[in-house]
Amino acid sequence: MVSNARRHLLAESGEDGSRICDSKNVTRLAHGEIVTLNWVLVFHVFGVVFWVGSLLLISSLMALVPDEVGVAKERIIVLARRMLLVSANSGAAVAILFGIAAILLEPGVLARGWLHLKLLLVLLMLVIQFRLYQRIRALEDAPLDATRREFSILHGLVSLLLLGTLMLVFLKPF
């Protein structure tokens, strides 16, 4: 049996009418389309969790740098750079690729205003990730330039962007 949320999603999708249906016709749709979209969304959310979790951890680690001295400071910076290059970049790639796949499977969602704002928030998250990368690279050469405030602000911005994205996805205000 198809849930009410899926009926709603299926009833409003598709401009060509091929996927528009009412609750009586929902079982006649190809079951594979629903399953495929669900799997794409699972991997999209996994990528988001991996990406945002990495950014939050990296910004928290970098906020510790001003309090450390010597080798410990250098090791934190190297660890943060590795995490950014591997974890955050991988999570961002997975989230973005599967997000694009979800849009391709459900193109009717492009007409929704909340998605446009969500994409703007994703772009801002990418800007913050690039800023973290720039600061980490700069701190490898001059570790004394690190400030707790800067990385705490970046941590807060990542948290706010995540909250905003979640509100848009679940509440779909417009």
pLDDT digit string, tens, across residues 130-165: 999 999 999 988 878 888 999 999 999 999 999 999
The angle subtended at Cα 53 by Cα 142 and Cα 63, nearest 5°, is 30
Residue 62 lies in a domain: yes
How much is the pLDDT for 69? 86
Place of tokens 């990495």: 54
How much is the pLDDT for 146? 83
Residue 29 lies in a domain: no
Range of the domain at 167: 41-96+106-171
Residue 2: pLDDT over 90: no
Residue 123 lies in a domain: yes
How far is it, in rounded angstroms, from Cα 43 to Cα 95?
A: 7
| Number of domains the chain is built from | 1
For residue 99 the two structure tokens come to 């997000």
- For residue range 76-132, what is the model confidence (pLDDT) as tens digits? 999 999 999 999 999 999 999 999 999 999 999 999 999 999 999 999 999 999 999
Residue 163 lies in a domain: yes
Residue 6 lies in a domain: no
Structure confidence at residue 33 as a pLDDT band (50, 70, 90): low
How much is the pLDDT for 11? 44
Residue 140 lies in a domain: yes
How much is the pLDDT for 35? 76
How far is it, in rounded angstroms, from Cα 126 to Cα 128?
A: 5
Residue 167: pLDDT over 60: yes
Residue 164 lies in a domain: yes
- For residue range 10-25, what is the model confidence (pLDDT) as tens digits? 444 444 444 443 333 3
Residue 55: pLDDT over 80: yes
Residue 17 lies in a domain: no
